[in-house]
A and B are shown apart, each in its own frame.
Chain A
Amino acid sequence: MKKFLMILLAAMLLLTAFACSKSGQGDASGSQTVAVVVAGRFGDRSFYDSSKEGLDKLVADKGVKPITIECNGENHDIQTKNAAEKADIIVLVGWEFYNIEEIAPDYPEKKFIWIDNATSAPVANVLNITYAQNEGSFLAGYIAAAVSKTGTVGAVGGEDVDTINDFIVGYEQGAKYYNDSVKVVKNYSNTYDDPAVGKDCALALNGQGADVVFQIASACGDGVFEAAKEKGFYAIGVDSDQKWIDPEVIICSMKKEVGNSIYTAVSEFLAGDTSRLGTTWIADMATGYVGIGYGEDSMTQQVPEDVKKAVEDLKAKIVSGEIKVNTTR
């Protein structure tokens, strides 16, 4: 037994030595390693998957070495450190990584990008990217109100937090902008993984009269679409252009170009331009990182042309600052 233990320990030591030597050689080949760390898990066909698309594009175009880590809702700090040990550029996807303020200074030579939230004070090697989701949601709310026949529109949020509520206040304002008498109802699924709960949330809103429901709840959204199909109401997708998932019930999507903004930011770093580090980049409608997607033209289009035109006008007004969209930030 003792002998066996000794051999086991020796083997473990050897293995650790190998592991160390491997990571030491990583940088020698010249190409940079980019880690994408997501707070939840891939497979939401929306926010996290969009970040993966950005990374895939970087691999194809710039030849970076990819690492992906899924936190599955826990151990965000440890996974951040794991990524920082291995990669040169670390992209943290999700509002949950708020301890980056303490972790990043320990790795001064690494570059961090934090998606969807911002450090309370600038950190020298962290670029925060936040999105003006309130602006995109304003348009989504306008469309929802225009398409609704009952005069009530709904929103299913993932959790009662600032980032999610930023969508909802914009959505509400947009709906009221179309017609002040439009009623906006909302609820929160309190989970991002469970489509069945998403379905229950959407059905509850439908019970309150909502005939267009905006989903802001990651994989729970699948349940929202399912409910819409079953009861014959409409849904609005989020983050990616989700129309393809079910063109008959998803009338449009509030697009947040997470993947493209990661691509842009990392490309700048690779080109040697680090001027954005230590700042917060608000990817908004003016720069084209937030907007509305209607899927492909060949799909059923439920949003009438005149509404689409009105949306374009509103877009111009938001960009020019004529309309000020509320925010929770």
Chain B
Amino acid sequence: MNEFSELLKSILSPGTFNEMLRRATPVAIAALGGALTEHAGIMNIGMDGMILMGAFFGVLGSFLFSSAWAGLAFAILIGVLVGLFYALFVIKFRSDEFIIGCALNTFALGLTSYMSRAIFGTSGAKGYPSLPDLHLGVIGKIPFFGGVIDGHSLFVYVAVLLVVILWVFVYKTPAGFHLRAAGEKPETLRTAGLSPDRMKWIASVLCGVLCSIAGAHLSLGYLNGTFAENMSNSRGFVAFACVIFGGANPIKTYLASLMFGFFDAIGLRLQGTISSDLTGIIPYAITVIMMVYVVIRSNRRKKHAQKRDPKAAGGAA
């Protein structure tokens, strides 16, 4: 009983929620990018590779220009290029987006590992100029809450800002409306004299940029200028799961990534009680449960739509 209360105490400590934010942020930023491509009707599984590219080129930029900001700019530049590259194949050449995504992941792992060894040697990069941590002063003094949100790397806070900006962009601006139309009913966009492909290009490039920022946050922000091969460690796939679960709504997507972060954090604390092999599968088990929910939800919606307007629903199917 005593053990149990101690476990509960460690789970409900500020440290757990602090870690939730830390773990969720790289996934969340990438997932915001994924939400844009999802709205534009592209199934983007190449996010993991995009994150890895951002992580490496962020550190490389930081190394070359001795400034973390230059590193971040370099990562964003590479993000634009990767986004363009992805769009070129998926949109221009109409290749299978699934295969191009896989190719991008493999390519990114190979390229970053190769360049990392060529430039930094087999040991990888460590200790280059890094993005600052923010200390919130008075807010950090608030019991519990302060311990959760104080002292994170810059992009933990920027991520929240990005959520708001992207939510406004997607749902409240004409461009966002066009973006959603490009994915849901491209013909309406064409009727309006606009090119759906153009919106897809924009979404793809923005996704590249956001994933790169996620990677740069991981290597330059969270790990203070460290790059290790394959350090994205499937975060891009978790991000994709968040996009699906959040219905590509930036706010819900962010909440989904927080949930993953939370389960990661309590998984680590449960290890003393449950085997670590079991705690390790928590995020994946959650993914499966989430997907079941998503399928049920979309089925229910279809049924509702059919009830309201049998003809339209039939036409869409």
Residues of A within 8 A of B (CB): 41-43, 45, 49, 52, 72, 157, 159-160, 185-188, 190-191, 193-197, 199-201, 203-204, 207-208, 219, 222-223, 226, 229-230, 245-246
Contacts and interface: CB of A to CB of B under 8 A. Distances in A.
B280 A190 contact: yes
Contacts of A41: 113, 229-230
A245 B277 CA distance: 30
A203 B226 contact: no
B5 interface: no
Interface in B252-273: 264-265, 268-269, 271-272
Closest 10 interchain pairs by CB? A207-B15, A188-B276, A194-B233, A190-B280, A160-B276, A42-B122, A219-B228, A193-B230, A43-B122, A187-B271
A96 to B, nearest CB: 15
Q: Taking each of B230, B279, B280, which has the highest tally of chain A beta carbons within 10 Å of its own beta carbon?
A: B230
Interface stretch (B18-26, B82-90, B197-205, B303-311): B18-26
A187 B19 CA distance: 15
Contact of B123 (A45, A157, A187, A188): A45
Interface stretch (B92-100, B161-169, B173-181, B217-225): B217-225
Contacts of B269: 204
Given A43-B229, A193-B228, A200-B268, 8 more contacts: A160-B276, A190-B277, A193-B229, A194-B233, A196-B23, A204-B15, A204-B19, A223-B223
A188 B271 contact: yes
Interface string B223-255: 110101111010000000000000000000000
Interface string B117-144: 1000011101100000000000000000
A195 B223 contact: yes
Contacts of A45: 123-124
Interface residues of B, number: 36
B222 A196 contact: yes
A74 to B, nearest CB: 12
A42 B229 CA distance: 9
Contact of A219 (B23, B124, B272): B124
Given A41-B229, A187-B271, A204-B19, A196 B276 contact: no
B275 interface: yes
B13 interface: yes
A245 B228 contact: no
B188 interface: no
A186 B279 CA distance: 14
A187 B275 CA distance: 10
A43 B222 contact: no
B10 interface: yes
A208 B269 CA distance: 10
B123 A49 contact: yes
A280 to B, nearest CB: 27
A229 B248 CA distance: 38
A36 to B, nearest CB: 13
A208 B19 CA distance: 14
A186 B116 CA distance: 31
B62 to A, nearest CB: 15
Contacts of A186: 271-272
Contacts of B230: 41, 72, 193-194
A185 to B, nearest CB: 8
B19 A203 contact: yes
Nearest to A42: B122
A221 B244 CA distance: 33
Given A43-B124, A49-B122, A203 B15 contact: yes
A230 B135 CA distance: 13
